Amino acid sequence: VCSPQEFGMNAWSARMLTRSRSRGPGAGPRRCGEEPEPLRRGEAAAERRKSHSPVKHQRKAQRLCVAYEGSDSEKGEGAEPLTVPVWEPQDWQQQLANIRAMRSKKDAPVDHLGVEHCYDSSAPPKVRRYQVLLSLMLSSQTKDQVTAGAMQRLRAQGLTVDSILQTDDTTLGKLIYPVGFWRSKVKYIKQTSAILQQRYGGDIPASVAELMALPGVGPKMAHLAMAVAWGTVSGIAVDTHVHRITNRLRWTKKATKSPEETRAALEEWLPRELWHEINGLLVGFGQQTCLPVHPRCQGCLNQALCPAAQGL
């Protein structure tokens, strides 16, 4: 005995089977209320052939496309990548322009007694580069006038790697005195000259790392040697003048305690095209105006822009 629901389902199945058979093999189910469409003679024959021929089904490979939502910077054509703003000191461009104006006469000691003026310009390139390095080693903790005098005495004796190695320590000390720490510099000059002869054929290294590996050569000397001897700007040469002035002008994000710390802070924001100029510019400014003790703020064009001058 079937329940009413089962009886209804069986009856519906029987009707569907009858209709399917009446439409012929291969016919698909019709939608509700759809009347069969009569076939033409040619179409009927084709349908019969289709119904008796095996059908091969080929599975088409489908490519899965996954879309990702881009960030705002990635949307649209020609979108520029996000850039982090670089810190720079307030009014630094005007301060720099004022210092250039105050240094326009180029009459500070560094302008005619600096390292660029201490070597023999008529000597062979290798000798010139060695003399540049030697003048830098002598200039540490020494005024330009004293360094220039020592270089003149050395050049009068014939200033080459070989001549220095053939000079005894006592004589060399007399020639470079009274440069600062002259006894230590005698030792460093001899050691460095021996290394240059053995490893570099009497020339000086062409990289900051190799120059700093030499006895008595620090970062400032290495960067200046690269600029003057090799014509390569490798970094900002920071001495006591540059260190003092940039801190007074607040050209570092925070106060720095050493010239090397100052160099790293300046190179983070100062345009590279100014790296070569900044040493000579500020050294002369420090020799004439922004003195270590009792700076001449009254005659400085940056008096109103200098944070240090406001506290004096």
Q: Using one digit for the tens of pLDDT, what is the confidence trace for 159-215?
A: 999 999 999 999 999 999 999 999 999 999 999 999 999 999 999 999 999 999 999
The predicted pLDDT at position 86 comes to 86
Please report the pLDDT score of residue 22 as a whole number: 46
Q: What pLDDT score does 83 carry?
A: 64
pLDDT at 9 over 80: no
CATH domain 92-107+237-299 topology = Endonuclease Iii, domain 2 (1.10.1670)
Catalytic residue (one of 50, 106, 126, 220): 220
pLDDT for residue 103 is more than 60: yes
Query: Does 96 have pLDDT greater than 60?
Result: yes
Residue 59 has pLDDT above 50, yes or no: yes
Q: Report the pLDDT value the prediction gives residue 123, as an integer from 0 to 100.
A: 97
What confidence tens digit (pLDDT) does each residue in 219-270 have? 999 999 999 999 999 999 999 999 999 999 999 999 999 999 999 999 999 9
Record: fold of 118-230: Endonuclease III; domain 1 (1.10.340)
Q: What are the two backbone dihedrals, phi and then psi, of residue 288, each rounded to the nearest 5 degrees?
A: -110, -35
pLDDT tens for each residue of 20-32: 444 444 445 454 4
User: pLDDT > 70: what percent of the chain?
Assistant: 73
220 is annotated as an active-site residue = yes
CATH 1.10.1670.10 placement within the chain: 92-107+237-299
What is the pLDDT, as a whole number, of residue 237?
A: 98
* Average pLDDT of every residue of the chain: 84
pLDDT of residue 66: 47
- CA Rg, the chain, in Å? 43
Rounded to an integer, the average pLDDT of 73-97 is: 77
Q: Where in the chain is the domain with CATH 1.10.340.30?
A: 118-230
